[in-house]
Structure 1
Amino acid sequence: DHGKTTLVDELLKQSGTFSSHQNVDERVMDSNAIEKERGITILSKNTAIDYEGVRINIIDTPGHADFGGEVERVLKMVDSVLLLVDAQEGVMPQTKFVVKKALSLGHRPIVVINKIDKPGGDPDRVVDEVFDLFAQMDATEEQLDFPVVYAAARDGYAKMSLSDENKDLTPLFQTILTEVPKPVGSDENGLQLQVFTLDYDNFIGKIGIARIFNGTISMGENVLLVKADGEKVKGRVSKLIGFKGMERFDIKTAGTGDIVAVAGFETIDVGDSLCDPTNPMPLDPMHIEEPTLSVTFAVNDSPLAGTEGKFVTSNKINERLAAEMNTNIAMNYEQIGE
């Protein structure tokens, strides 16, 4: 609603990540049918762009507290955040939730005042609102000294001052390059990688999407999976996948700061670490927020039973919920019998 996903589209286009012949959907990052239809982002998605020789990893997150499990994990995986605020609406209740999490993890947000082309917009007032919000949240001096970029993502331009001309997103790219700290860690160290979201493929099974905090990882390498409860499982990387634009492709090796997808571990879960087997140093497991809503599915015994949709039998619903459990860690599912 503040234009996060639309901004990612423009960053992809203007960094030259899409070639000119690729036909680009609007809001390419919203791949799920409900997301496309409602224009909201539920799941976090990641992509990467190359700009002036620098690889920028981008994770598009939901902005709502209902998807708290998603937001929190992603914030632990990044070195900085772009906080988008609507130039007219200003700080919204859901902004507070995300900001609180980001500040408490020590991030110094780059504030993007978006939709400055709206006739009722008042960007200066909104910057003050953001400052007041940060102050309420006990931000440090450094966090209160946040960089501000003014943008109209849909029209594909950004500027450092409202009096500058409307050109393209270069000012935002430059701000990202100068303000975002380089990843801490080094390729020389032992491997430390942490999974922040899951994917599932019928052929290769469970896939962990993860950030490498230290060391390097290679296709076919033997590594140690350390579960959140401390259990250790030896395994081999059967597939290593990199991201760029909307493409996913096999890669041979990746290093510190990269975001990759790893397959070959049946029990891999969010928060698990992959480590160097000779000297395993797992990262702290993540705490996932408990689900905010509970639902009981019961048999429909009304006279209209069976007419309300295509797959209405409990077996089908059970299959679908079980499939969701492969990748959705903010969900718990149990069968309670008849």
Structure 2
Amino acid sequence: MSNQKIINIAVIAHVDAGKSTLVDALLQQGGAFRDNQEVAAQIMDSNDQERERGITIYSKNCSIEYKGIKINIVDTPGHADFSSEVERIMKTVDTVILLVDSSEGPMPQTRFVLSKALELKLKPILMINKIDKKDQRAEEVLDEVLELFMELDANDDQMNFPTVYGIAKNGIAQFTMENPSEDLTPLFETIVTQVGSYPTELADNTTRMQVSTLAYDSFIGRLGIGRIFEGKLKEGQTVAISRNDGSVKQGKITKLMVYRGLNRIAVSEAVAGEIVTISGIEDISIGDTICDLNDVRPMEAITIEEPTMSMNFLVNTSPFAGKVGKFVTSRNIRERLEKELEVNVGLKVEPLESSSVEGFKVLGRGELHLSVLIESMRREGFELAISKPEVILHKDPVTGEVLEPMEKVTINVPSEYAGTIINKLNQRKGLMIDMDSDGVRDKVTYNIPLRALIGFRSEFTNDTHGEGIMVRSANGFEPYKGEIESRQNGVMISMANGKTLAYALGNLEERGILFVAPQTEVYEGMIVGQHSRDNDLDVNPTTGKKLTNTRSSGTDDSVKLTPYRKMTLEEALEYIEWDELVEVTPVDLRLRKKWLTLVERKQHRNDQKKVIS
């Protein structure tokens, strides 16, 4: 293996551009599977939530061989909330394949992932995917990508990027639109041509490897994954670990593994250029540098963009607390969050300062980033209560001015709905950057405060009848834009404990939208529906029909209810206000007021939401 040429590549793109599908095709044609082996689609998306949501959440490694050259591939997430997964692996690769849809062109997240590659002086390979689409416009998309490179201050060498065209789902890549191909050979050849040999003299230097990803194995413990930049690593070698805080300690590599196809295989030695997995160092962390004992040269720290949103993870204090969950205490929650911090570098956790509630303030890159963690905890048997998402404000170090995170939002909607959406974005302090229309659909780009988009996605879906497309990406910080109108409707709050009855719910339907079905267990302070007006309404959803011994025509018909609104975790987090919580258990999601009784709510009626400073 020491004489084998090694190339490390990452596949980067906006969500749904076809990254995982392309990796499937690369693995298939790179000999990672037997000829008769059955392979699931998007095989790299092995996590349950990745399968269910249809997105990549975690960066993952695999390898293939082409003409005797080993190609390590890193599959990366495309969603903006998981961009920390992209940031930390960029230093481990020699080049990136930038995948762009032949119809959509470069999207907001494309800009972010490309900027990270250009900053590290990588020279990308552009692949314009899905050229079989009826509305493909590959040549225009190429021009748009060129403009994007110029906007991101790419150097002359980077601007001279190679381009291939392809259909990832069919495993096809071609050098031009006019010359069809039968496989991915043009892409393989481009990769080999693009990346020169890793300098062989670096293998003779003293060891330097930086950990970019962590994993866990139930048999051998914590694993560190990263690239060997110089020298060699051997199984059983005693090394120096230069920590992120500047300290240095000794450790021993008990097992050394490399990727072959989708599997990790044990090896006795690996050389510069290889991506390896090591075990034996229990407290290894992302960014740590593995060095020779007699030559400690720490590498530059892996920098990750700061979190933009926070939620409070609280101990569940509802009347139903502990009925179905296995882990319900603050100690359980703290241990789980500490475990998550070891592998999730985009996350931060702070203890709550308030002595009246038990819990933690968790900071992440967005609602989806945090909701994936909540869903994982829920499936593991945790019970907790989650507060309304809040953006993280900053102060200008020079002027002291309060700054808030902004988002660049691109919406594509049928023309008849564009006016409604534009009006709502304007009300939310958004500033229109660009607008384009082909007479059928309008494409509008806005710069808008991140907090203005909390709760907007469900409105957007309803207003566009499900036909609108909205994509978002971080767009820096700007001065605080002032107050923004939140939810327009109040809620219906249960004032009784018990099971809901169809008779009571039938009467409540006239007042708004129900969130519960008949025979649902409820408690005082639990939210059972949305009020049609802007005030909260205390109701009794457990009231039954009074029984008499007299029958009358037309009064004994069965109650027919409109289907109730069942929220997903993300929808529930977007929906709640500052005085409400989402109660998360392994079985149920419930909305509730922070203060359950009417007396408590009256006492806190004049409380105002605290702005993070």
TM-score relative to the length of structure 1: 0.94
Using the TM superposition, give the Cα deviation of residue 259 of structure 1 relative to its aligned residue in structure 2, in angstroms: 0.4
Residue number in structure 1 paired with 2:72: 57
Distance 1:292 1:77 in 2: 26
Structure richer in strand, relative to its length: 2
Structure 1 residues 55 and 268: alpha-carbon distance in aligned structure 2, compared to 1, 3 A threshold:
same
Give the number of aligned pairs: 337
- Whether 1:241 aligns to 2:257 is yes
Residue number in structure 2 paired with 1:67: 82
Using the TM superposition, give the Cα deviation of residue 21 of structure 1 relative to its aligned residue in structure 2, in angstroms: 3.2
Distance 2:49 2:334 in 1: 20
Q: Helix, strand or coil for the counterpart of 1:82? A: strand
Q: Helix, strand or coil for the counterpart of 1:34? A: helix
Spell out, residue by residue over 1:127-159, the C-alpha distance to the aligned partner (whole angstroms, 9 max, x if none). Answer: 010001001111111111110000100011010
Q: Which stretch shows the higher mean deviation, 193-202 or 296-305?
A: 296-305
Using the TM superposition, give the Cα deviation of residue 334 of structure 1 relative to its aligned residue in structure 2, in angstroms: 3.9
Partner AA of 1:246 in structure 2 = L
Residue number in structure 1 paired with 2:112: 97
Q: Which stretch shows the higher mean deviation, 183-192 or 154-163?
A: 183-192
- Whether 1:250 aligns to 2:266 is yes
1:66–1:292 contact (8 Å) kept in structure 2: no
User: Which residue, out of 124, 132, 146, partners 1:109?
Assistant: 124
User: Which residue, out of 222, 232, 243, partners 1:216?
Assistant: 232
Q: Helix, strand or coil for the counterpart of 1:29? A: coil
Distance 1:244 1:295 in 2: 40
Percent sequence identity is 47
- Whether 1:174 aligns to 2:185 is no
Using the TM superposition, give the Cα deviation of residue 22 of structure 1 relative to its aligned residue in structure 2, in angstroms: 2.7
Using the TM superposition, give the Cα deviation of residue 16 of structure 1 relative to its aligned residue in structure 2, in angstroms: 1.0
Partner AA of 1:212 in structure 2 = I
- Whether 1:127 aligns to 2:142 is yes
1:65–1:98 contact (8 Å) kept in structure 2: no
Using the TM superposition, give the Cα deviation of residue 319 of structure 1 relative to its aligned residue in structure 2, in angstroms: 4.5
Distance 2:122 2:196 in 1: 10
Distance 1:190 1:208 in 2: 19
Distance 1:195 1:61 in 2: 17
CA RMSD across the alignment = 1.8
User: Which residue, out of 261, 273, 280, partners 2:296?
Assistant: 280
Distance 1:36 1:317 in 2: 26
Q: Which has the higher contact order (CA 8 A, sep 6+)?
A: 1
Distance 1:305 1:276 in 2: 52
1:200–1:327 contact (8 Å) kept in structure 2: no
Distance 2:326 2:110 in 1: 38
Q: Helix, strand or coil for the counterpart of 1:135? A: helix
Rg (Cα) greater in structure: 2
Using the TM superposition, give the Cα deviation of residue 326 of structure 1 relative to its aligned residue in structure 2, in angstroms: 3.1
User: Which residue, out of 171, 179, 189, partners 1:156?
Assistant: 171
Using the TM superposition, give the Cα deviation of residue 182 of structure 1 relative to its aligned residue in structure 2, in angstroms: 2.9
Structure 1 residues 267 and 319: alpha-carbon distance in aligned structure 2, compared to 1, 3 A threshold:
closer
Partner AA of 1:18 in structure 2 = F
Using the TM superposition, give the Cα deviation of residue 303 of structure 1 relative to its aligned residue in structure 2, in angstroms: 4.6
Distance 2:339 2:238 in 1: 28
Using the TM superposition, give the Cα deviation of residue 310 of structure 1 relative to its aligned residue in structure 2, in angstroms: 4.9
Distance 2:131 2:195 in 1: 24
Residue number in structure 2 paired with 1:261: 277
- Whether 1:207 aligns to 2:215 is no
Partner AA of 1:87 in structure 2 = S
Q: Which stretch shows the higher mean deviation, 258-267 or 295-304?
A: 295-304
Residue number in structure 1 paired with 2:505: none
